[in-house]
Amino acid sequence: MKEVRVMSVFGTRPEAIKMCPLVKELSARPGIRSLCCVTAQHRQMLDSVLEVFHVRPDWDLDIMTPRQTLSGITSKCLLGMDEAIEHLKPDLILVHGDTSTTFAGALSAFYHQIPVGHVEAGLRTYDKYSPFPEEMNRVLVSGIADMYFCPTEGNRENLVKEGHQKGIFITGNTVIDALRTTVQKEYQFATDELNRLSYDTRKVILVTCHRRENYGEPMKNIMLALRQIAEENRDVELVYPVHLSPVVREAVDTYLRGAPRVHLIDPLPADEMHNLMARCYMVLTDSGGLQEEAPALGKPVLVLRRETERPEAVAAGTVKLAGVVQDDIVTMASRLIFDKKAYEQMAHAVNPYGDGQACRRIADAIEWRCGLRANPPEDYRA
Ligand code: UD1
Ligand code: UDP
């Protein structure tokens, strides 16, 4: 029987962290030819993940330019995908999440009339401009997709409400699969500054911030809040691996650099980042991925945004929305630093996002759809 050619398309760091385990799972299935096409919407940050997971792309569009625009990314991806599809001849295309790569990848598959599987489907804020442009990317990809791999039951309900009926699977999030391979009990950091931190006696706060809707005033407020937290608390160390976006770097340089007890470092390889998260006191972030990872590792998270499409960990009590107003962020962070009871209430491991079997379920669902397996996978239940 002919192998089914399944092409995974991704381009940014978070997509890569969540798709590499799936590319590898698909490679281990005898009836499937697992192909990997990267757009390289991120260059260095993507390559770092590929190295950690030992994944070698079959096709690389190499589109990244400094300060790229949304139209620039989308149009370059579309043109590049034509070539990739012609060359690799996929029977099914997998895209992940909500980036410009995701949208262009799905649109291109549609133009070639190739079915699409959407990994991490069904997340919603129902605010078209927040996160921007990600919320609209998700909605548009849902209109194109043929298979939906939802991390949670809530994500499935969102799709059903919008009229999607068929091809929905609840799989858990593949990020939990990734974490299981990266986090180790005994871990030596390659980044020396991280080995020198005392995780038992100091409160190490892990920070990230990069979202487009936070550009401008909100990002300034966030940076000033971080500065104030570091200045007012002698027993904290803020560790901030700064995203390579020039917009983010400018905000960091203008408002945060030079503050005491703030460690501004380059983006970390995924394994370093996950092990740092496992050892830190708490997380302040506007990242989507960190909102899923930190709860699994028992770390409280304050989200530096006005909304979240990941309500499950908020409901479980380990994630709180801190917003983008300086005073609010400082007040909420200070409470977790000073109030042991408030901290303990948030610091428990919960796993609403998966059991580490998401890739297995997605591969099983694909095999089932392609007639390689008699039954669909069982749904993931938190
Ligand atoms: C993108 C995604 C966002 C995701 C984020 C993950 C879109 C619209 N946005 O946003 O959903 O949360 O990735 O980090 O798809 N750069 C480098 N090297 C790199 C990566 C980025 O130099 O390895 C710089 C470049 O100047 C680039 C800029 O960062 O132009 C912005 O990258 P881009 O992918 O456009 O936006 P992100 O904010 O990273
Ligand atoms: N991450 C990483 N190194 C860093 C910062 C983040 O490996 O220096 C990982 C993080 O653990 C998570 C993913 O990158 O798995 C999140 O990516 P990002 O915050 O860039 O995007 P988002 O999840 O918000 O789309």
Q: State pLDDT tens for residues 269-289.
A: 999 999 999 999 999 999 999
Looking from the CA of residue 175, the nearest atom of ligand 2 is: 15
Q: How far is the CA of 48 from the centre of ligand 2 (A)?
A: 12
Does residue 290 have its Cβ closer than 6 Å to ligand 2? Answer: yes
Does residue 21 have its Cβ closer than 6 Å to ligand 2? Answer: no
Q: Is 120 a catalytic residue?
A: yes
Proportion of the chain above pLDDT 70, given as a percent = 100
| Separation CA 329–CA 332 (nearest Å) | 5
Q: Which residues pair with 148 in a beta bridge?
A: 118, 168
Which stretches within 60-164 are classed as H helix?
70-88, 100-111, 134-144, 153-161
Catalytic residue among 15, 25, 60, 98: 98
Q: What is the pLDDT of residues 23-69, one digit of tens each?
A: 999 999 999 999 999 999 999 999 999 999 999 999 999 999 999 99
- Residue 68, classified by CB atoms within 10 Å of its CB into exposed (0-12), middle (13-18) or buried (19+), is middle
Residue 291: nearest ligand to its CA?
Answer: 2
- pLDDT value for 116: 98
Q: Give the sign of the dihedral formed by CA 289, CA 290, CA 296, CA 300.
A: negative
- pLDDT value for 190: 94
pLDDT tier, 1 (very low <50, low <70, confident <90, very high otherwise)? confident
State the average pLDDT for the chain: 97
| Separation CA 374–CA 216 (nearest Å) | 53
- pLDDT value for 124: 98
Looking from the CA of residue 99, the nearest atom of ligand 2 is: 25
Does residue 289 have its Cβ closer than 6 Å to ligand 2? Answer: yes
- pLDDT value for 377: 98
Q: Within 13 A of 155's CA, how many CA atoms are on the CB side?
A: 32
Q: Is 210 a catalytic residue?
A: yes
Catalytic residue among 25, 60, 134, 286: 134
Q: How far is the CA of 260 from the centre of ligand 1 (A)?
A: 28
Confirm whether pTM is higher than 0.75: yes
pLDDT tier, 369 (very low <50, low <70, confident <90, very high otherwise)? very high
Does residue 171 have its Cβ closer than 6 Å to ligand 1? Answer: no
Q: How far is the CA of 369 from the centre of ligand 2 (A)?
A: 32
Looking from the CA of residue 211, the nearest atom of ligand 2 is: 24
Segment 160-184 shows an average pLDDT of: 97
Q: Is 96 a catalytic residue?
A: no
Helix (H) or strand (E) holding 290: helix 288-296
Q: Roughly how many angstroms between the first and final C-alpha of the chain, as a whole number?
A: 37
Q: How far is the CA of 12 from the centre of ligand 2 (A)?
A: 9
Is the Cβ–Cβ distance between 13 and 208 less than 8 Å?
Answer: no
Catalytic residue among 243, 305, 310, 369: 243
Our mutation pick for probing the ligand 1 site, out of 9, 62, 211, 245, counting the most ligand atoms within 8 A of Cβ, is 245
| Separation CA 216–CA 214 (nearest Å) | 6
Does residue 270 have its Cβ closer than 6 Å to ligand 2? Answer: yes
